[in-house]
């Protein structure tokens, strides 16, 4: 029971990082990333490959951040000057391409067999239970750091500029904001956070394969951010933990509806996720914690 | 030389399969102004509706197409008009995300009812025809002919019928259309029926070509999007041209990259197009 709780909280933390990543660009700049699962995978594989080559886990995490930035810049390059739905379509394609590469470049990713035996830091010294506790603390600390950083960013001139761009791109440009540069920076930072989440996930599971990075994860995170409140880092974090609890709760569908085949139960659970997302849009579009618009700072 | 010709011929066949759902996607985009990810589910639902009619009632391909059109169209109207209408004022991106959720729900309804297995239509097997060095399946020819007829019917509908004109008017300018006495609500419902129905027809054509499972629609979604972006989001002739371009590019790519990367070609096509000609072949508003 305790290890189940530790596992759920650790996964909640990893989802919270993904939610912070999405919230930064969706809540911040009004851009949509439908390829979150792809950036998550890029980070996981980058760290797995780096640590597999013998570097310590810390270097692997940095590699994941870097890989996220590079992937983010590649994806945004063609779409930034266009309407936002183009970015949605391109990011969706990006996630698919990442999955294909992970499946087919066996020399790099070991294909559909996945990469196993990823370094789990201090597992030998701490034992399984101790490692789970340590890792929960590590992930929670990273979430806390990312949350503090993004909250500061949210209230800084950078965050205000992003929201100005979200509300009215032309007006922001007219006010002298360099719209494209802001969007590039926001997307790259967001992709880096998603990559970091992937690396943390990989070293926790010690095994990754293309199956771990299904598009469904992206939908979970959209549910988390919408439920928590788009535009507020605190909302994103709360939403992520809420979604993990919700996902675990849907396991009990099997108990309520006996006589169903496993595939039908799986289908019902995924349906519930979709229904929950639409219901959140209906019932509480501003989320649990609605966005606060801080008053403009006095300049004189 | 004949390898190249065969690849282009196959590309034309693939293009017809992409074209019909791409027209559906584009019609919804042009009139309602959001990209509907539900198209993936409508393709799958159409394919399964046709499969049910075919294997349970012994329906041929033509009746299966009609049934797929009606079922997928009805589901599309019920889903997007019933569940998502109230979200439309919140903006295109919100609705687009909601269509992803809708797609997830519908896809899993199909999985709940039919399971994950591949299903094939019950149709007589015919040997491939040969011209010179080229091979073509008779079913593929039938598909191309059927898809061509469907496209002609859509063009005629848009060009000459009252409804088609109203749709084009709303796509052009909602406010002006309303002033002229066109009810945008009715047009939205008709468009959703047509768009989802055509996706369903595409699902039958795809299923007849190979087989069908709950993820069939999701697998071709990227190619459909690529076709629509290539043609210029919102342009129906553009979607058709884009579909053939994507189909031929996918088949030609088999000559140089491993077959497993075929579905990445659509992504590459989107990136190249957006970088050099963001408005697509038949440019519409991109910014």
Dihedral, CA of residue B248, residue B251, residue B255 and residue B256, to nearest 10: 80
A219 interfaces chain B, CB cutoff of 8 Å = yes
**Residue A260: both structure tokens together:** 């169903």
- What residue spans of B128-263 are helical by DSSP H? 138-160, 162-172, 174-179, 184-209, 216-231, 236-253
Neighbour count for residue B86 (Cβ, 10 Å): 11
Model pLDDT, residue B283: 65
Helices and strands counted in chain A (H then E): 13, 2
Dihedral, CA of residue A29, residue A33, residue A107 and residue B256, to nearest 10: -110
Inter-chain CB proximity A88 and B260 less than 8 Å: no
H or E stretch covering B70: helix B61-76
- pLDDT, one tens digit per residue, over B91-128 is 888 899 999 999 999 999 999 999 999 999 988 877 78
Model pLDDT, residue A300: 54
A105 interfaces chain B, CB cutoff of 8 Å = no
Contacts of B82 in chain A (CB under 8 A): none
CB of A13 closer than 8 Å to CB of A143: yes
Range in B19-28, B168-177, B205-214 the model is least confident about: B168-177
- Phi and psi (nearest 5°) for B278? -60, -20
Inter-chain CB proximity A85 and B100 less than 8 Å: no
User: 3-class DSSP state for residue B129?
Assistant: strand
In tens digits, chain A (300 residues) has pLDDT values of 788 999 999 999 999 999 999 999 998 888 999 999 999 999 999 999 999 999 999 999 999 999 999 999 999 888 888 888 889 999 999 999 999 999 999 999 999 999 999 998 988 888 888 999 999 999 999 999 999 999 999 889 998 888 888 888 888 888 888 889 999 999 999 999 999 999 999 999 999 999 999 999 999 999 999 999 888 899 999 999 999 999 999 888 777 777 888 899 999 999 999 999 999 999 877 777 787 766 666 655
- What residues 44-103 of chain B have any CB closer than 8 A to a CB of chain A? 83-84, 86-87, 90, 92-94, 96-98, 100-103
Inter-chain CB proximity B275 and A100 less than 8 Å: no
Model pLDDT, residue A34: 94
Inter-chain CB proximity B264 and A96 less than 8 Å: yes
Inter-chain CB proximity A271 and B108 less than 8 Å: yes
What percentage of chain B exceeds 90 in pLDDT? 62
Whose CA is closest to B57, among B10, B142, B121, B108? Answer: B121
User: What b/e readout covers A74-84, taking b as 16+ CB neighbours within 10 angstroms?
Assistant: ebbebbbebbb
Confidence of residue B286 (pLDDT cuts 50, 70, 90): low
Whose CA is closest to A290, among A235, A223, A220, A221? Answer: A235
Distance from CA of B142 to the nearest CA of A (A): 31
Location of structure tokens 């992003």:
A162
Classify strands B129-131 and A115-116 as parallel, antiparallel or unpaired: unpaired
Distance from CA of A93 to the nearest CA of B (A): 5
- pLDDT, one tens digit per residue, over B224-279 is 999 999 998 888 999 999 999 999 999 999 999 888 888 899 899 898 888 888 88
User: What b/e readout covers B198-224, taking b as 16+ CB neighbours within 10 angstroms?
Assistant: bbbbbbbbbbbbeebbbebbbebbbbb
Classify strands B129-131 and B134-136 as parallel, antiparallel or unpaired: antiparallel
Domain positions in chain A are 2-213
Interface predicted TM-score (ipTM) of this complex, two decimals: 0.91
**Residue B282: both structure tokens together:** 């038949």
Dihedral, CA of residue B192, residue B193, residue B199 and residue B204, to nearest 10: 170
Distance from CA of A119 to the nearest CA of B (A): 30
CB of B246 closer than 8 Å to CB of B269: yes
- Phi and psi (nearest 5°) for B127? -70, 155
Long-range contacts of A147-150 (CB under 8 A, 24+ apart): A147/A16, A147/A20, A147/A233, A147/A234, A147/A237, A150/A20, A150/A23, A150/A24, A150/A233
Neighbour count for residue A52 (Cβ, 10 Å): 15
CA quadruple A78, A35, A281, A263: dihedral positive or negative? positive
- pLDDT, one tens digit per residue, over B49-93 is 999 999 999 989 999 999 999 999 999 999 999 999 999 988 888
Domains within chain B, CATH numbers bracketed: 1-120+132-276 (1.10.3470)
Q: Report the mean per-residue pLDDT for chain A.
A: 91
């Amino acid at each position: 029971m305790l290890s189940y709780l530790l596992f759920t909280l650790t996964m909640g933390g990893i989802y919270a990082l993904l939610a912070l990543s999405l919230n930064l660009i969706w809540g911040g700049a009004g851009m949509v990333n439908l390829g979150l699962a792809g950036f998550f995978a890029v980070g996981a594989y980058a760290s797995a490959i780096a640590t597999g080559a013998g570097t310590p886990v810390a270097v692997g995490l940095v590699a994941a951040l870097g890989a996220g930035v590079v992937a983010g810049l590649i994806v945004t390059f063609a779409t930034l000057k266009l309407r936002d739905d183009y970015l949605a379509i391109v990011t969706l394609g990006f996630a698919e391409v990442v999955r294909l590469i992970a499946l087919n470049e066996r020399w790099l990713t070991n294909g559909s067999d996945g990469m196993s035996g990823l370094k789990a830091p201090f597992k030998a010294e701490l034992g399984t239970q101790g490692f789970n506790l340590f890792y929960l603390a590590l992930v929670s600390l990273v979430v806390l750091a990312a949350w503090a950083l993004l909250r500061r960013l949210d209230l800084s001139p950078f965050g205000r500029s992003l929201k100005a761009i979200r509300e009215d791109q032309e007006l922001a440009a007219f006010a002298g904001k360099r719209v494209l540069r802001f969007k590039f920076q926001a997307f790259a930072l967001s992709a880096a956070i998603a990559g970091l989440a992937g690396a943390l996930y990989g070293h926790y599971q010690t095994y990754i394969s293309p199956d771990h990075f299904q598009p469904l994860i992206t939908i979970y995170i959209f549910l988390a951010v919408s439920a928590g409140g788009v535009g507020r880092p605190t909302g994103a974090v709360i939403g992520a933990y809420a979604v993990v609890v919700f996902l675990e709760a849907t396991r009990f569908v099997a108990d309520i509806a006996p006589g169903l085949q496993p595939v039908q139960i799986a289908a019902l659970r995924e349906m519930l996720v979709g229904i929950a997302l639409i219901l959140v849009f209906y019932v509480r579009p501003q989320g649990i914690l609605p966005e606060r618009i801080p008053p403009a700072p006095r300049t004189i | 030389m004949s390898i190249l010709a065969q690849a282009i011929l196959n590309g034309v066949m693939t293009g017809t399969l992409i074209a019909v759902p791409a027209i559906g996607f584009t019609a919804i985009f042009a009139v309602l102004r959001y990209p509907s990810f539900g198209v993936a589910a409508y393709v799958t639902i159409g394919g399964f509706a046709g499969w049910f009619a075919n294997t349970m009632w012994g329906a041929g391909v033509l009746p299966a197409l009609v049934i797929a059109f009606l079922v997928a169209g009805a589901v599309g109207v019920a889903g997007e008009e019933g569940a998502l209408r109230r979200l439309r004022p919140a903006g295109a991106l919100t609705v687009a995300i909601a269509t992803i959720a809708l797609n997830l729900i519908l896809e899993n309804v199909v999985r709940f009812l039919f399971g994950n297995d591949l299903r094939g239509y019950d149709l007589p097997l015919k040997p491939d025809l040969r011209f010179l060095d080229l091979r073509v399946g008779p079913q593929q020819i039938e598909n191309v002919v059927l898809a061509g007829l469907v496209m002609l019917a859509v063009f005629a509908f848009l060009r000459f019928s009252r409804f088609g004109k109203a749709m084009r008017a709303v796509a052009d300018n909602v406010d002006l259309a309303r002033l002229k006495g066109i009810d945008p609500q009715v047009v939205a419902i008709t468009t959703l029926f047509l768009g989802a129905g055509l996706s369903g027809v595409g699902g039958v054509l795809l299923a007849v070509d190979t087989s069908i499972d709950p993820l069939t629609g999701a697998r071709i979604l990227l190619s459909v999007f690529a076709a629509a972006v290539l043609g210029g989001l919102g342009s129906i002739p553009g979607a058709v041209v884009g579909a053939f371009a994507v189909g031929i590019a996918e088949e030609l790519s088999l000559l140089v990259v491993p077959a497993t990367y075929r579905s990445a070609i659509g992504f590459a096509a989107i990136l190249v197009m957006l970088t050099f000609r963001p408005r697509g072949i038949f440019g519409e508003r991109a910014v």
